[in-house]
Chains A and B, each alone.
Chain A
Amino acid sequence: MKTAVKLFARARDLAGTAMLELDLSESATAADLRAVLGEQVPALQLILPSLLIAVGNDYAGPTTRVAGRTDLAVFPPVSGG
């Protein structure tokens, strides 16, 4: 299924967009999302292992389900302050 993912900071710059539509399976986890991201957006492979995945307002672990969510975001380690 087509799933929208927001991008921020360097991830957005490398992908050239603030929002991606990824084709994810109906049982997709955050680990699957990361793999699909690398396949569909080769420019992100450079920082793929360090990218954080958020589901809603929480950080996802590798097994967190992302299928069917409308509030996904992907971004590099944070540097506020």
Chain B
Amino acid sequence: MKFSPMIQLTHEPIDFAALTESVRSTQAGAVVLFLGTVRELTHGRQTVALDYDGYPEMAEAKLRELEAEARSRWPVIEAGIVHRLGHLELGDVSVAVAVSCPHRHQAFDAGRFLIDRLKEVVPIWKKENWSDGSTEWVHPGTGDVADLSDRTP
């Protein structure tokens, strides 16, 4: 079955295959899927899990704004963005962005724009659970040690 394109926050595992299928179209010659996944090592420190918190109403509004901006800049046929909240283990998918466009460079550019801006403006936060048992919110620019985790391209 074909799902409608979606923008949502969820506490459930992200069905990125369904999300990808939902943006496919006979008008599109290119479909790009980006997945963010929980990484074990950040500058030599070992992560055992991440906890994601979000401000759902504002986050979904910001995601819709980003989709609208992407549509104004590229010939996006369909776009879907799903971000997971709650407790995630290593390798789990935290975010999925799927975009379809007539041509591949448009789909890559629009997809990159969506994930890059998501990380800058959408009110969602991650908390590191380090292997030494400590926990730490990642808040870029506030001088937290975990700052470094998101500064690597």
Instruction: For A57, list chain B residues within 8 Å (CB).
Output: 57-58, 61-62
Q: Is the interface of B mostly helix, strand, loop or mixed?
A: mixed
**Beta-carbon contact of A54 and B58 below 8 Å:** yes
Which of A13, A57, A77, A80 has the most B CB atoms < 10 Å from its CB?
Answer: A80
- List residues of B whose CB falls within 8 A of some A CB: 36, 52-55, 57-59, 61-62, 83, 94-95, 115, 118-127, 137-142, 150
Contacts beyond the supplied A8-B55, A80-B122, A81-B150: 11 A-B pairs with Cβ under 8 Å: A13-B137, A50-B142, A59-B121, A73-B58, A77-B141, A77-B142, A78-B122, A78-B125, A78-B140, A79-B138, A80-B125
Instruction: For A56, list chain B residues within 8 Å (CB).
Output: 58
- List residues of A whose CB falls within 8 A of some B CB: 6, 8-10, 12-13, 47, 50, 52, 54, 56-57, 59, 73, 75-81
The 3 closest A-B pairs by CB, nearest first: A80-B124, A57-B61, A9-B125
Q: How far is the CA of A76 from the CA of B55 in the complex (A)?
A: 12
Instruction: For A10, list chain B residues within 8 Å (CB).
Output: 125, 137, 139
**Could you tell me the distance in whole angstroms from the C-beta of A6 to the nearest C-beta in chain B?**
7
**Beta-carbon contact of B36 and A8 below 8 Å:** no
**Could you tell me the distance in whole angstroms from the C-beta of B68 to the nearest C-beta in chain A?**
13
Instruction: For A47, list chain B residues within 8 Å (CB).
Output: 139, 142
Nearest chain-B residue to A76 (Cβ)? B139
Nearest chain-B residue to A56 (Cβ)? B58
Which of B61, B62, B95 has the most A CB atoms < 10 Å from its CB?
Answer: B62
Instruction: For B94, list chain A residues within 8 Å (CB).
Output: 80-81
Nearest chain-A residue to B58 (Cβ)? A57
Contact of A81 among B53, B119, B123 (CB under 8 A): B119
Q: How far is the CA of A80 from the CA of B55 in the complex (A)?
A: 11
Contact of A8 among B118, B122, B125, B150 (CB under 8 A): B125
Which of B36, B142, B150 has the most A CB atoms < 10 Å from its CB?
Answer: B142
Q: How far is the CA of A76 from the CA of B53 in the complex (A)?
A: 12
